[in-house]
Amino acid sequence: MAILIVDDSPDQHLLLRSILTKAGHADILAVDSAHAAFATLNLAGERASTKIDLILMDVLMPEIDGVSACRQIKQKDHLRDIPVIMVTAKNDLSNLKEAFSAGAMDYINKPVNGVELLARVASALTLKNEMDCRKEREVELRRSNDELQRALKEVKVLRGLIPICASCKKIRNDGGFWQQLEEYLGEHSEAEFSHGLCQPCIKKLYPGVYQD
């Protein structure tokens, strides 16, 4: 799963990438500003140009800080489900309430502790995977429901009063002609027929053959 690091410090890039890579996270992107992150995520578009499953966002950055960047990301439908973990210096704790209000799911203090980082990243990626699976199930359910609705529209259903002969059981069609029951049903439904004889008819037609 892909992780995007957003931090204006090259040293922080190296540190985070080193910890994550050693833990087996191979798909890692790093950018040095919120603007670069927006470009990577295709913020202005309707879908992400690069699949990102988690964002590690520095709080203090020039031009656009991490909290503002998080807020803008979470306002986009195609990016809203990406978990954002804020990476903050201890003297930035006053900004955490605002960060959570902006949509961040968690935070990590600087200097970054490797064990803490990996635990929080694992939790965030597990959540993202569950959300992706849920969305796939919802899409599949909608697709199945659409197919069912299309199929129901194509089903022929007999309704209303059907005139039928009490003796021969033929049905009078809309043109006033009498049709065999199976012929009429074949024209007005998807049913198919196979012919045989029930026991009462066998007794009637072949009284010397049928044995009780």
Burial 97-123 (b: 16+ CB within 10 A, else e): ebbeebbbbbbbebeeeeeebbebbee
Q: What is the pLDDT of residue 23?
A: 93
pLDDT digits (tens, 9 = 90+) for 79-117: 999 999 999 886 666 778 888 989 999 999 888 999 999
DSSP state, residue 162: -
The reply to whether 85 falls in a domain is yes
Dist CA 152 CA 49 (whole Å): 38
Say if residue 25 is in the same domain as residue 114: yes
Dist CA 58 CA 122 (whole Å): 18
Contact 2, 25 (CB under 8 A): no
The reply to whether 151 falls in a domain is no
pLDDT at 139 > cutoff 70: yes
The reply to whether 136 falls in a domain is yes
pTM (whole model) above 0.75: no
Structure tokens at 121: 């990243």
Q: Which domain holds residue 93?
A: 3-146
All residues at 6 or more sequence positions from 193 whose CB lies less than 8 Å from its CB, including other chains: 182, 185, 186
Mean pLDDT of 170-180: 84
Picking from 113, 128, 146, the residue at the C-terminal end of a domain is 146
Q: Give me the helix-helix angle, 114-154 and 10-22, nearest 10°.
A: 70
Q: How many domains does the chain have?
A: 2
Mean pLDDT of 172-199: 78
Dist CA 100 CA 114 (whole Å): 22
Pairing of strands 106-110, 171-172: unpaired
Say if residue 198 is in the same domain as residue 141: no
Q: What is the pLDDT of residue 74?
A: 93
pLDDT at 155 > cutoff 60: no
Say if residue 62 is in the same domain as residue 117: yes
Dist CA 170 CA 195 (whole Å): 16
Say if residue 52 is in the same domain as residue 110: yes
